[in-house]
Amino acid sequence: MKPSNCGATTTLFLLAVVSASGVLCDLPAVAAQPVAPVPDLVTPRTDERTGFQESRPYGPRYDLRTDFAMAYGIDASLTERLARWREAGYVPHVMTGVAWGQYQDFLNGEVDGREHWDEGQVDARGNPINHGATVPYMVPSVAFADYLEIGVKRAIDAGAVAVHLEEPEFWARAGFSEAFQREWQIFYREPWQRPDSSINAQYRASKLKYYLYRRTLDRLCTAMKEYALARHNREVRFYVPTHSLLNYAQWKIVSPESALLDLPGVDGYIAQVWTGTARTANTYAGRMKERTFETAYLEYGVMQELVRGTNRRMWFLHDPIEDNPGHDWTDYRDNYIRTLVASLLHPGVARYEVCPWPNRVMQGRYPRGREGTGIPADYATTLAVAFNQLRDMEQSEVTQADSTTGVGVFLSDSAMFQRAEPAFTTGVAADGSDPTRATSDEVRDLAGFYGLTLPLLKHGVPVRPVQLDNLARTPGYLDDFKVLVLSYEFMKPMSPGLHLALAEWVRGGGVLLYVGADTDPFHEARDWWNEGLVSYRSPTEHLLQQLGLPRDAAEGDYPCGDGRVIIARRHPAYYTRSADNADEYRQLVRQAVESAGGRLIERNHLVMRRGPYVIASVFDESVSDEPLTLTGRFVDLLDPQLATRTIVTLQPNQQAWLLDLEQTSETRPLLLAAAGRVESWDVQGDALEYVISSPEGTPVAARLLLEREPQAVLIDGQQVDSFEWNAESHSLLLRHAGRAEGVRVRLEGVGGDQP
């Protein structure tokens, strides 16, 4: 590993970082003069920074005390369920499935007199694709959209201010049902073709699936916004909870993703990223395995880039467990922390769905079976701290010192169009000896994308997945980037205008690294590059022409205006096959970064500061196995005791989320962190009184910055001595049982300068 550039900044240093090379480096501190307290943990629910979804009626044990609650399901019980969450203080949201659900009345013809079982998704063998025994994934017909309106109207009438239409999913292996055949005939004005009959048929089938859910959401959201205004004189917002583009491509699902940005009725998204998606195995340096942190980092990254530069809202989802009930609490906790920290390393998003189905977390027993146990008390406390601290992640000061920033790898929605047969048997290499073609397994595992990202991320380069489709939507979308990596071997550009925007960026000084040998059989699919007045063998030829290069430009380094184009005639999956191949790719990126006037800094960790918070992760399979040591004065937010530390050491595959005490407000008393929501905060003279609410039975830990040790601590009017005073940090740790309706805490004789 190269030594870090420790003299690159003259900013005031308050956090020291010991790099894996043993060189003492400095992370710039944030010189803040806040108006609000830092941290700011007494916030109004109307900010809607955090929320959760729950299908069960209100229960105090899983009352997480976030800003909003999404009552799940639009059945007849919704009105009562939503009213109870609202009574508990939540902003009322509703969520329902837009691709599947308990919609038997529609399927059985009870709604419009016609059965709709033929509108379920069907695979090539004629088998229904179900979410449950009698819950098919739907082909989103006009009739189905009309049916969904009934339930959405119920949600609006019940008082919902926002409706979340979850998971518009069309399986890539589907496309054989009668309903889909009808839609094909209407859309393409020709008889249906089996999607597995040719590359062209599969690509066109996926484009139709993409369109159908876009149509459904456009129709539904627009109609229901008008209904809310006409019936209730109230604006209702619509959001789409959806897996990441990366996960949908890897799991072989088609969803409209970025196309929803063009719909005026859609107000934003929830990025459904969690352990279950992020532990999907991928290949790096010849080894396929789970890499939860790295995959989550890339998943959250592409979802951040999806809405960057738009007015659409995004929440990042975390899940303290996952859908698979066969793991134990240690597995759930370790992977929750990996996904949580991965999300915090994307500062463009500061809103969170803290938990889906909190009932199954707070009251479930795992692993499922005789040996299952309830949630450990320490984990419940850590979760409660995280749920509340996440409301404070909107920070204007963000630094990521001594890192090669400004490097991105493109990903397009069209990556979802190449994920079913004959994609895995046409034009593939017999083995891994061909550097220009992917094997069948590599195509299935989306190795092309991981070959362009994991070699950088594993060496501490904070690479950003970039939504290719947004180039023509958002002016200046690429201004933050110095080097961009592109391949059309696992996706295609959906519009020729994207190349005009990309060429403009290169001529303005950007460096484009194009990786591809044009061997992907989907270059032959009928689309704009081979159907216009001028025909191209592949979209790559059109791109190179816009860059002023020959259509068949060979591997090499080419000037283009004030920028450069580097071409590598390899299939990107090649870079996953061995450590040497990954090194070969990093050398290309190094060449690109140096051409852009930068330096490729390789290390085994990522460290970021967001306001007073320090977020860090150390990689395995990296430049070394050396630990990372952070020195300063911190509160460890992932420790159930909210311990204060001056040294934090992380081993490979470990993460940290810390509050830097040097960056908090000088005003005291100050709430630093708590496993509960502070509902009221009142300072009178030298006494502090506050009310804190938390899930029933969750042990509460709270750390407060005070002028002096309190003379008395009262919990609900009873004096207690169950507190710890830390003289060095001037902080108090309180522990007590939690209650959803709130616990009143009074500290006397603590000093303070607040009115």
The mean of the pLDDT values for the chain is: 94
Q: Is residue 479 part of a domain?
A: yes
Residue 3 — pLDDT band, cuts 50, 70, 90? very low
443 plus 499 within the same structural domain: yes
Res 755: pLDDT: 38
Average pLDDT over residues 28-43: 72
491 plus 638 within the same structural domain: no
Residue where the block lists tokens 């090649």:
574
Residue 754 — pLDDT band, cuts 50, 70, 90? very low
452 plus 557 within the same structural domain: yes
**Residue 34: pLDDT over 80:** no
Give percent above pLDDT 90 in the chain: 93
Q: What is the CATH number of the domain that holds 723?
A: 2.60.40.1180
571 plus 608 within the same structural domain: no
pLDDT tens digits, 364-378: 999 998 889 999 999
Contact 397, 608 (CB under 8 A): no
Residue 12 — pLDDT band, cuts 50, 70, 90? very low
Angle at 483 between CA 479 and CA 489, to 5 degrees: 115
652 plus 509 within the same structural domain: no
Res 6: pLDDT: 33
Instruction: Report the first-to-last Cα separation within the chain, whole angstroms.
Output: 53
Sign of the C-alpha dihedral computed for residues 462, 468, 470 and 476 taken in this order: positive
Alpha-carbon distance of 230 to 228, in angstroms, equals 6
Res 35: pLDDT: 67
Res 369: pLDDT: 85
694 plus 648 within the same structural domain: no
Q: What is the CATH number of the domain that holds 508?
A: 3.40.50
Domain C-terminal end among 646, 663, 680:
663
Res 370: pLDDT: 80
Cα 116 to the chain's mean position, in Å? 34
Res 27: pLDDT: 46
Q: What is the 3-state secondary structure (H, E, C) of 497-528?
A: HHHHHHHHHHHCCCEEEEECCCCCHHHHCCCH
Amino acid code (one letter) for 429: A
Average pLDDT over residues 651-673: 97
Q: For residue 52, what are the contacts with CB-CB under 8 A and spacing of at least 6? A: 64, 66, 69, 70, 353, 354, 355, 356, 358
619 plus 584 within the same structural domain: no
Res 36: pLDDT: 87
Average pLDDT over residues 667-676: 96
439 plus 551 within the same structural domain: yes
Amino acid code (one letter) for 280: T
Average pLDDT over residues 53-70: 98
Contact 3, 24 (CB under 8 A): no
Please tell me whether residue 413 adopts helix, strand or coil conformation.
Answer: helix
Q: Is residue 568 part of a domain?
A: yes
Alpha-carbon distance of 148 to 163, in angstroms, equals 12
Single out the residue of 610, 570, 338, 559 nearest to residue 455, CA to CA: 570
Q: Is residue 736 part of a domain?
A: yes
As given in the structure block, the two tokens for residue 16 are: 């020291």
pLDDT tens digits, 37-46: 999 999 999 9
Residue 349 — pLDDT band, cuts 50, 70, 90? very high
pLDDT tens digits, 138-170: 999 999 999 999 999 999 999 999 999 999 999
Alpha-carbon distance of 739 to 716, in angstroms, equals 11
**Cα torsion for 28, 33, 35, 39, to the nearest 10°?**
40
Res 15: pLDDT: 42
583 plus 448 within the same structural domain: yes
Residue where the block lists tokens 């933050």:
480
**Residue 23: pLDDT over 70:** no
Domain C-terminal end among 613, 643, 663:
663
Angle at 256 between CA 251 and CA 258, to 5 degrees: 105
Give percent above pLDDT 70 in the chain: 95
DSSP string, 46-94: GG--EEEEESSPP-GGG----SEEEEE--STTHHHHHHHHHHTT-EEEE
Q: How far is CA 145 from CA 139, 150, 223, 267, in A?
A: 10, 9, 10, 18
Res 8: pLDDT: 29
Domain C-terminal end among 542, 571, 595:
595
Q: Is residue 680 part of a domain?
A: yes
Res 752: pLDDT: 66
**Residue 11: pLDDT over 70:** no
Q: How far is CA 436 from CA 377, 455, 575, 592, in A?
A: 53, 18, 11, 21
Contact 596, 509 (CB under 8 A): yes
β-bridge mates for residue 314, sequence order: 269
Alpha-carbon distance of 150 to 377, in angstroms, equals 42
Residue where the block lists tokens 């038997």:
104
pLDDT tens digits, 289-343: 999 999 999 999 999 999 999 999 999 999 999 999 999 999 999 999 999 999 9
pLDDT tens digits, 526-549: 999 999 899 999 999 999 999 999
Res 133: pLDDT: 85
Cα 748 to the chain's mean position, in Å? 43
Q: Is residue 478 part of a domain?
A: yes
Q: Is residue 617 part of a domain?
A: yes
Q: Is residue 317 part of a domain?
A: no
**Residue 574: pLDDT over 90:** yes
Contact 484, 466 (CB under 8 A): yes
682 plus 728 within the same structural domain: yes
Residue 582's CB is within 10 A of a number of other CB atoms, namely 23
Q: Is residue 693 part of a domain?
A: yes
Print the domain residue range for 645.
Answer: 13-31+603-663
Res 753: pLDDT: 56
Residue where the block lists tokens 């934003």:
268
736 plus 692 within the same structural domain: yes
**Residue 16: pLDDT over 80:** no
Task: Look at the chain and report how many structural domains it folds into.
Answer: 3
Alpha-carbon distance of 636 to 594, in angstroms, equals 38
Dihedrals φ, ψ of 646, to 5°? -105, -20
Q: For residue 230, what are the contacts with CB-CB under 8 A and spacing of at least 6? A: none
658 plus 574 within the same structural domain: no
Residue where the block lists tokens 């991981």:
450
**Residue 267: pLDDT over 90:** yes
Q: What is the CATH number of the domain that holds 650?
A: 2.60.40
Average pLDDT over residues 120-128: 97
Query: Could you tell me the pTM of the whole model?
Result: 0.95
DSSP string, 683-751: EETTEEEEEEE-STTPEEEEEEE-SS--SEEEETTEEE--EEEETTTTEEEEEEE--TT-EEEEEES--
**Residue 2: pLDDT over 60:** no
Average pLDDT over residues 378-395: 98
